[in-house]
């Protein structure tokens, strides 16, 4: 509920934040993706090996981009997808809505936040004759700080709630991240950390508690600069 309130407040303030500049007309993007899979079929005795189609995937995505000003941009993504298996069970459909906001608050501070509601529906029940359908609710945000010209500090946070019809699978995942990049002459150095906490959600959930840590470093040297 609090995420919806924040989104409503941001959308309400958009005309106030951008009243000094002319608002551009929205830009529309439409994408279609298709995937086909195949598997090798074990032949009967005396027959040659065969390749048979095993799955297909179709996805249509609509993106609406609105530049309210040079500092403020919003996007709305919506997608419908179908994954169908021919040789096994597991076919499913999903639909999602994903609005986001990117705001350049100052020359040294940028803010991004996004939300997603995803609804997944399976053709069959699981092995225990229980529904595999679920709704996934996601909220994420990050800030980009530039305390000096060649240093960026980017903390981030993401929260996901997977609400299954089978409540034993219901879970929540919290992700904390931090990225730092710095440029010294023609060398760029960066590091990142990500902590992922997955836990059960509700009294009926049997999802075990898990915590993962991820680290990474990178160095980029360009002698031409």
Residues 11-27: pLDDT tens digits?
555 555 555 556 789 99
Q: Residue 24 and residue 14: Cα distance in Å, rounded? A: 13
What pLDDT score does 186 carry?
87
pLDDT score, position 120: 97
Task: Report how far residue 6's alpha carbon sits from residue 212's, in angstroms, rounded to the nearest whole number.
Answer: 29
CATH number for the segment(s) 27-41+52-105: 2.20.200
Q: Where are the domains of the chain?
A: 27-41+52-105, 125-225
Residues 31-50 have a mean pLDDT of 76
Using one digit for the tens of pLDDT, what is the confidence trace for 103-155?
A: 999 999 999 999 999 999 999 999 889 999 999 999 999 999 999 988 999 99
Tell me what pLDDT residue 21 has: 56
* Residue 119: predicted pLDDT: 98
The SS3 call for residue 169 is: helix
Residue identified by tokens 């800030």 is 143
Whether 135 and 118 have beta carbons less than 8 Å apart is answered as yes
Token pair of 180 as six digits: 């730092």
Instruction: Give me the helices (H) in the chain, please.
Output: 2-17
Higher pLDDT, 223 or 121: 121
Tell me the pLDDT of the chain averaged across its residues.
Answer: 88
Asked whether the predicted pLDDT for residue 10 surpasses 90, the reply is: no
Report the DSSP beta bridge partners of residue 76.
64, 99
Claim: this prediction has a pTM higher than 0.75: yes
């Amino acid at each position: 509920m609090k995420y919806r309130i924040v989104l409503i407040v941001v959308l309400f303030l958009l005309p106030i934040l951008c009243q000094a500049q002319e608002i551009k007309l929205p830009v529309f993007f439409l994408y279609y993706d298709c995937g086909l899979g195949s598997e090798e079929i074990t032949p009967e005795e005396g027959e040659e090996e065969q390749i048979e189609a095993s799955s297909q995937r179709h996805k249509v995505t609509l993106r609406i981009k609105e530049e309210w000003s040079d500092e403020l941009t919003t996007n709305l993504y919506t997608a419908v997808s179908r994954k169908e298996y021919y040789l096994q069970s597991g076919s499913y459909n999903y639909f999602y809505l994903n609005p986001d906001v990117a705001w350049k608050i100052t020359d040294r501070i940028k803010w991004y936040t996004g939300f997603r509601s995803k609804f997944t529906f399976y053709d069959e029940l699981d092995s225990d004759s229980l529904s595999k359908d679920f709704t996934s609710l996601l909220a994420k945000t990050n800030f980009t700080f530039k305390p000096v010209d060649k240093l960026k500090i980017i903390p981030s946070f993401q929260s996901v709630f997977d609400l299954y019809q089978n409540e034993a699978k219901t879970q929540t995942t919290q992700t904390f991240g931090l990225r730092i990049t710095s440029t010294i002459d023609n060398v760029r150095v960066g590091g990142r950390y990500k902590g992922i906490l997955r836990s059960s959600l509700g009294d009926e959930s049997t999802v075990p508690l898990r915590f993962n840590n991820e680290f990474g470093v990178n160095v980029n040297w360009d002698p031409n600069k």
